[in-house]
Amino acid sequence: MKLDTLSIESLKEIVKVAKDQGVAELQVEAKDFKVSVNFATAPAQIHHVQPMVHAAPVAAVQAPAPQASSAPAKATASDAGLHVIKSPFVGTFYASPSPGKPIYVKVGDKVKVGQPLCVLEAMKIMNEIDSDMNGEIVEICVENESLVEYGQPLFKIKA
């Protein structure tokens, strides 16, 4: 399927933001197309596949490792023994299923495997993020309606 100019421009903006934020790999899927971008060392190439679009690796920009500079040393010492649930992609974090509804979890709540913790929105697609362990929420690392990056900590859970 041929994408219109607006869709391509939107896609270019998403790729630019991801690259500027130091994301290593980006996958965007919609009803009629799929784009995979790996920020390696080769120049960008876009391959049209019926009906999908794939982008090959693009030139990497040297950026500092996000975890190395953003996590203070004292935080890692106090996080010993905690399980961290990280964002699987770039998106907008929502603490509740929709405006006006109660939040999924708060600090101190007991959670079980498979229990929804939040919603991440990417390209107008809402994705529930579920707990992958039983335990207690000890920290919610992001604010409601904030932009999160790939690999950014969302929740800390104590078993």
32-47 tens-digit pLDDT = 666 777 765 444 444 4
Cα separation, 121 vs 117, whole angstroms: 13
Any residues with CB less than 8 A from the CB of 80 and at least 6 apart, and which? none
What Å distances lie between residue 55 and 5, 12, 16, 35, 90, CA to CA?
Answer: 17, 11, 13, 6, 18
For residue 78 the two structure tokens come to 């106090």
SS3 23: coil
Start-to-end CA span in the chain (Å): 47
Cα separation, 86 vs 157, whole angstroms: 11
51-80 tens-digit pLDDT = 444 444 554 444 444 444 444 444 455 678
Residue type for position 124: K
Domains, the chain, ranges and CATH? 5-55 (no CATH), 71-158 (2.40.50.100)
Determine if the pTM surpasses 0.75. Answer: no
Percent of the chain with pLDDT over 70: 60
SS3 111: strand
